[in-house]
Amino acid sequence: MSPFSSESAWLCLAATAVLGGMLLCKSRSPGQLRSQVVCLAGLWGGACLLSLSLLCSVFLLSVSCFILYMSSSDQDLLPVDQKAVLVTGSDSGFGHALAKHLDKLGFTVFAGVLDKEGPGAEELRKNCSERLSVLQMDITKPEQIQDAHSKVTEKIQDKGLWAVVNNAGIFHFPVDGELIPMTSYRKCMAVNFFGAVEVTKAFLPLLRKSKGRLVNICSMGGLVPLQMMAAYSSTKAALTMFSTISRLELAKWGVKVVTIHPGGFQTNITGSRDNWDKLEKEILDHFSKEIQENYGQDYVRTQKSTLQIMKELSNPDITPVLRDIQHAISARNPSSCYFPGRMTYLWVCFAAYSPTSLLDYIMKKYFHSKVMPKALKTAS
């Protein structure tokens, strides 16, 4: 008998909805909201599929709501009190918008940029308050990280640094992992992973002093196997695991570690068309005879359209990302992970819990290149 065939079952569903609504109303974070909705819906669906008794269903869902309610019961935002925050990669994209957003909220912001004389840095100096400092900070250069550390320490003195947001990152030309040059793998790893680790190690003593926050901007691509993104996704997966281990290790010091896994948002991480041409040429220059025979140069050239498609499908409004980062920095008890973006959390759950064969089928069907390599095209 279906659990929906009686009035009592509908009363059970209504009671669960009320409990869930009370929980969700307390949530300040959109990412947290999605997570809890999915959890409650999954529990209810599981109870229905298992044909549990009404009493068991009520008990299971009520206890689940109570646990989630208690885990999110301390979501008040801490006062700004001119807390100091370091944001890397503030030239553009998430980092640039976040630096301006935090400055408006009253934080003391240290905006690390790749080019201190560039247009992004100039805009920050022009439009932000005196609380914001622009720091030359190429995170692949240890001497610039140490110089930034000295300037931050000099300004905050004994107050400590409240948060570090490791946002700086680079992308690569979207193509099969076999075709991505090792130079691209190394560049992505140098910025997206080693750079974030080195910044973390340099500024952790200041975070320990304030018992503050380490916020690492990861990616949905570090959790979901997206084709054509082998180098980028691998570095984000590495950063995710580093963050997870750091969260466990730094808890004893009172430092909270948070990961942000955005979905598709429009930033300039993919670079300009000139940069696309440069990356394409780098790949073609590394073609071996065997690769030429199997893939062909046309296969690579057609992948450039993927960058344009990614841009068109991405959300131009990055507000959800900024809200989640703000919550990670300011909440008394932040979540360990945030998933801003359309369907991001659902995709992550699907990748984590679906059978491998089903995941592979979906990813091959909907997230693959429409162009066939030269050898396969000839064979067909």
Q: Write out pLDDT tens, residues 357-374.
A: 999 999 888 776 678 888
Catalytic residue numbers, as ranges: 232
Q: Is residue 63 part of a domain?
A: yes
d(CA 338, CA 170): 21
Last residue of a domain, one of 50, 71, 92: 71
In a domain? residue 182: yes
pTM reported for the whole predicted model = 0.83
Residues 116 and 39 placed together within one structural domain of the fold: no
Contacts of 316 (CB under 8 A, 6+ apart): 265, 266
Q: Does residue 247 lie within any of the structural domains?
A: yes
* Domain interval for residue 14: 7-71
Specify whether 56 is located in the same domain as 121: no
Mean pLDDT of 159-184: 92
- Give the residue from 244, 238, 218, 227 showing the smallest Cα distance to 339: 218
Closest CA to 280 of 142, 372, 175, 165: 175
pLDDT at 239 over 70: yes
Look at residue 76 and tell me if it is in a domain.
no
CATH number at residue 235: 3.40.50.720
pLDDT value, residue 17 = 58
pLDDT at 232 over 80: yes
347 and 250 within one domain: yes
- Are 346 and 215 in the same domain? yes
Whether residues 61 and 129 share a domain: the answer is: no
List all residues 6 or more positions away from 77 whose beta carbon is below 8 Å from its beta carbon. 28, 327, 330, 331, 332
Q: Judge if 112 and 238 occupy the same domain.
A: yes
Residue 61 included in any domain: yes
Single-letter code of the amino acid located at 175: V
**pLDDT higher than 50, residue 3:** no
Residue pLDDT, tens place only, 318-327 = 999 999 999 9
Alpha-carbon separation of residue 275 from 170, 182, 280, 304 (angstroms): 12, 18, 9, 11
pLDDT score at 199: 98
Shared-domain flag, residues 234 and 312: yes
Same domain flag for 112 and 255? yes
Q: What does the pLDDT look like over 160-170, one tens digit per residue? A: 899 999 999 99
The overall average pLDDT reported for the chain is 84
| 267 and 153 together in one domain | yes
Mean pLDDT, to the nearest integer, of 152-174? 92
Does residue 380 lie in a domain region?
no
Residue 294 is encoded by which pair of tokens? 């199997």
* Residue at which a domain ends, from 71, 95, 115: 71
What is the mean pLDDT of the segment spanning 250-278?
Answer: 87
48 phi, psi to nearest 5 deg: -70, -45
| Domain count across the chain | 2
Asked whether residue 138 falls in the same domain as residue 165, the answer is yes
Are 228 and 156 part of one and the same domain?
yes
Vertex 169 angle, CA 264 and 309, to 5°: 35
* Average pLDDT for 202-212: 96
Q: Label residue 85 by pLDDT band (50, 70, 90).
A: very high
Per residue in 19-69, pLDDT (tens digit) is: 555 544 444 454 555 555 555 565 555 555 555 565 666 666 666 666 555
Strand spans (E) along the chain: 84-87, 108-113, 133-136, 163-166, 213-217, 256-260, 337-338
The answer to whether residues 217 and 112 touch, using CB atoms and an 8 Å cutoff, is: no
Domain identity same for 63 and 94: no
